Chains A and B, each alone.
Chain A
Amino acid sequence: MEPAVEIENLTKVFPAHFGGRPVRAVDRVSIRIEPGEVYGLIGPNGSGKSTTMKALLGLVAPTSGTCRIFGADSLAVDSREQVGFLPENPYFYKHLSGAETLRFYGKLCGLRGKSLEARVDELLELVDLVEARDRRLGGYSKGMLQRIGLAQALVQEPRLVILDEPTAGVDPIGSRQIRDLVLALRERGITVFLCSHLLEQVQEVCDRVGIIFRGRMIREGRLEEMLSIEDQTELVLRDARPELVEEIRRLIEAADGAELVRAGRPRTTLERLFLRETVDRNE
């Protein structure tokens, strides 16, 4: 099967300006994403994440190397038929309402008439903006803008969705909504390529991740393989009596070579606590 994304030895050097030095934003990066995967590209600010995405969308031309989307060269207009893109902090046109925004992008992709209207309704429902459909984007909150942005990215039913910092500046509730949408996309078999520096979210939704630093891919692989600590084993017990815990402890001490590293109550995250105390309580 043809990979959804195939980036081979991508290098991007931005020329020097006003006597400065050329900037090597991306240095021989290769990424391959199979259809249906959720791939996260993580790295600090300025590490080359956005440039890699822009090269994949044909917004910047590679200095060397190639980018392909379902086999089509990403510099060709045709390749964009299969792609939906949500840029970092998008503003969109403030004079359009939510429904008008989706209609505009839908028409650009060749949708017309009843099929377009049906698609607009479906997407507004998907991103939970039905009630705000006729409100101009100038009055949308940051989270609503991100969701309408995600909806426009999906308007032509693309097989690949590229999300650049999809939760940047969004509060934890909006952030969770976007995370749930990404998970819904995965359920529908849509390939997702996202970049973020919010590591916990990447961890929650991605199948594979790549770590990019100073333009170079320094580590890449399946998330569970990368995160598991090879020489440690985790046991999580529910309703265990203290005697049982003590017995396990004794067994470990008696065993040759094994060592108890940590025991105690597992902790939730601050985000989960916040959501449980706010949204989940209302539900």
Chain B
Amino acid sequence: MTARHRPLNPRRITVLAYHTFTQLVRMKVFYFLGAFAVILIAANFLRLPTHAAPEAVGVQLLYSIKSSCAGAMTLFSIVMAIVATGLLLPKDVEDRTLYTILAKPVPRLDYLLGKFFGVAALIFVSLLVMDLLMTGALQLRMGGVLEQQRAAGEAFGHPPEMIEAQLAETRALGPTWALQGAVFVIFLQSVVIISVALLLSTFSTSTLFTAIVGFLVVFIGFFQADAREAYFHGTGVLGKIGSAIMTTALPDLQLYKLIDAVIEGRPLEAFDLLKVTGVTLFYFVVYTFVSWLVIARKEF
């Protein structure tokens, strides 16, 4: 095989990824961002019942903006990862466009990776836009909230140290680096889900099948760690092997729930971020390798 026809050619993968990205953009998936903007505006006017002290006024507002935006981002990334990935491969087979691509000097692994990176790029760009909107809204609102809290603290005659401590707590609920890290974790979670959906679509012939099984895998993924604990806890070496198989076969998405803590204002540890990145890489490599094994032998 000549060098330029070997698998993992970055230029060819980029061509396929860019094409996949364009295809999805022209399918008007970015309309979802309009829905996100509506959620953001609604969150700005949401008045949740609060038991906070008067000097902690506005905290619930910041919390509501963050949790609504994070929820919308998670939902968008999961739906997009499953549906878009599940749609692309069967559609290419059905329309026979896959024949014309594989009839060119394109290794099947490069085709798969092109699809993967195209969907991943779309989700990355969408999350980036949503993150910018969320950060902007938080920044705008936090200025006002800090002013209100300072005024309330002074009216109650609290000492300056106490007021500063309250303001520091409030700042932790604003647009922090931990929040950016948490958005990145949402992206990493979608990388795992794209890998799963890609694997499913290599042997499925319909988008519906991929979507249903994909959502099922995601659903199980959120409870997998608990199930693993219940089934294999204290069962010795065999239990550990069973646990490892279960963790590999079905992604453990509980690991990606770091965002909940960040929304409540807790910091995101660098170790946790590194661990999640490593786990994501592991799932990506394993699922893509299996996808390649399936598609390399597939006949069209």
Contact = CB atoms under 8 A, between A and B. Distances in A.
A268 B145 CA distance: 89
Contact of B12 (A88, A89, A108): A108
B299 A77 contact: no
B107 A61 contact: no
Interface in B18-38: 19, 22-23, 26-27
A74 B60 CA distance: 65
A153 to B, nearest CB: 8
B222 to A, nearest CB: 34
Given A59-B300, A60-B300, A108-B12, A80 B103 contact: yes
Mostly helix, strand, loop or mixed at chain B's interface?
Answer: helix
B104 A78 contact: no
Interface in A81-140: 81, 83-93, 95-96, 104-105, 107-110
Q: How many B residues touch the partner, as a band?
A: 20 to 34
B5 interface: yes
A77 B106 contact: yes
Contacts of B97: 90-93
Contacts of A110: 4, 11-12, 105
B274 to A, nearest CB: 36
A89 to B, nearest CB: 7
A95 B105 contact: no
B96 interface: yes
A54 B96 contact: no
A108 B300 contact: no
Nearest to A82: B105
B300 A78 contact: no
Interface string A150-162: 0011001000001
B212 interface: no
A76 interface: yes
A61 B101 contact: no
Contacts of A76: 1
Contact of A59 (B26, B95, B102): B102
B103 A92 contact: no
B100 A105 contact: yes
A109 B102 CA distance: 11
A78 B15 contact: no
B15 A59 contact: no
Contact of A108 (B22, B26, B99, B101): B101
Contacts of B15: 104, 107-108
Q: How many A residues touch the partner, as a band?
A: 35 or more
A152 B273 CA distance: 45
Interface in B81-121: 95-97, 99-107
A152 B99 CA distance: 12
A85 B104 CA distance: 8
A78 B103 CA distance: 11
A10 interface: no
B23 A59 contact: no
A77 B27 contact: no
Contacts of B1: 76-78
Interface in B282-300: 297, 299-300
A108 B102 CA distance: 10
B2 interface: yes
Nearest to B23: A95
15 contacts: A59-B99, A59-B300, A76-B1, A77-B105, A78-B2, A78-B105, A80-B106, A81-B5, A87-B96, A87-B103, A90-B99, A107-B12, A110-B12, A152-B100, A156-B104
Interface of B: 1-2, 4-5, 11-12, 15-16, 19, 22-23, 26-27, 95-97, 99-107, 297, 299-300
Given A90-B97, A90-B99, A108-B15, 18 more contacts: A54-B299, A57-B102, A59-B102, A77-B106, A77-B107, A78-B1, A80-B104, A80-B106, A85-B103, A87-B96, A88-B96, A91-B96, A92-B97, A105-B101, A105-B104, A107-B15, A108-B105, A162-B103
Interface of A: 54, 57-61, 76-78, 80-81, 83-93, 95-96, 104-105, 107-110, 149, 152-153, 156, 162
